[in-house]
Amino acid sequence: MRTRWWNQLEPMVLTAWCTALALAGSLLSQWPLRLDALHGYLRALLIVAVLAAFLLVLLRPRRPGFARRLAGYRLRAPRGGAAAFVLLVGAVLVLNYGSLMVLTGLLRPEQVWVPVLEGVLGQPGGAAMLLVLLLFAAPLVEEWLVRGRLQTGIARRWGVPAAIAVSATVFAWLHGIPSLVPVYFVFGLLLGFAVWVTGSVWTGVAIHAAHNGATFGLFLLAQAAGVDAAEAAGAEASAGMLRLGGTALLPGAALLALALRVGGWRRLRRAPGMVWRPLLWLAPLLLVLNLLPAVPG
């Protein structure tokens, strides 16, 4: 009886613990941004140092159980081969940008991150700080804890589908922007699936970093072209996003099917962790958490 009770409670405790650690890691990584007395490049180096220290604390390499901790964070080489890995990364990125454009066109969320990026870029060495945060700090902290530790731990108790859905929900709310929760949730589902089929959190890190880098590059191009964020979110632009995003989903799905075939991952649908029952009772709560921010007013 006690074992059954703990089986249900452990994923909830793990969710709270990993969420708290991910928030702590994110805040620690962003802390050097507030040190105005230091030059931007020094702050960028400080971000790297803080990030390395945080990850070392998570792994504790000199303590017993290091190999178990590596396994718990899914810090292993991706399975399936290099060709399948490249195809999978490409498929997830295309699907993510397609769904991002569709959801942005439908929901038209406020672009609250634009002034933040502009503010950091306006500082000396601001581009270096953003690159470190977007390409290293965010992918490593969030993927290790959310897709590595949390998704792996929940999968043991509630099965893979529930683990991917819960980790995607935590990932969506970690960003602290309610209007963008549905967008981040879809990205989290894609990341969770990619980490599961490859068995490696490094897949999530690579996709996350590639997404952040591409998004930052598009932002810089838009700035150079003088595109206003408010105009880009207008009704006419939203209609264009819907068309372009919907079109992108088709090649993304085809690319994903090819990746699953090349990597031999299609047989994973019969894996022991594919238990759907826990997701059935979790689904209503997760749907409310991820869709409620999209309800107008």
String of b and e for 111-141 (b: at least 16 CB within 10 Å)? Answer: beebeebeebbeeebbbbbbebbbbbbbbbb
Cα separation, 205 vs 146, whole angstroms:
11
Looking up tokens 């030059």 gives: 39
Looking up tokens 């890190």 gives: 205
- The whole-number average pLDDT for the span 262-288 is 87
In a 10 Å sphere around its CB, with 0-12 CB exposed, 13-18 middle and 19+ buried, how is residue 158 labelled? buried
Cα separation, 84 vs 264, whole angstroms:
9
295 versus 192: the higher-pLDDT residue is 192
Q: pLDDT band for position 235 (50/70/90)?
A: low
> How many residues appear in the chain?
297
pLDDT digits (tens, 9 = 90+) for 151-200: 999 999 899 999 999 999 999 999 988 889 999 999 999 999 999 999 99
CB contact at 8 A, 99 and 168:
no
What percent of the chain has a predicted confidence (pLDDT) above 70?
93
* pLDDT at residue 120 is higher than 80: yes
18 versus 272: the higher-pLDDT residue is 18
String of b and e for 269-290 (b: at least 16 CB within 10 Å)? Answer: eeeeeebeebbeebeeebeeeb
The whole model's pTM is what?
A: 0.93
Model pLDDT, residue 204: 98
pLDDT digits (tens, 9 = 90+) for 1-34: 455 655 668 889 999 999 999 999 999 999 998 8
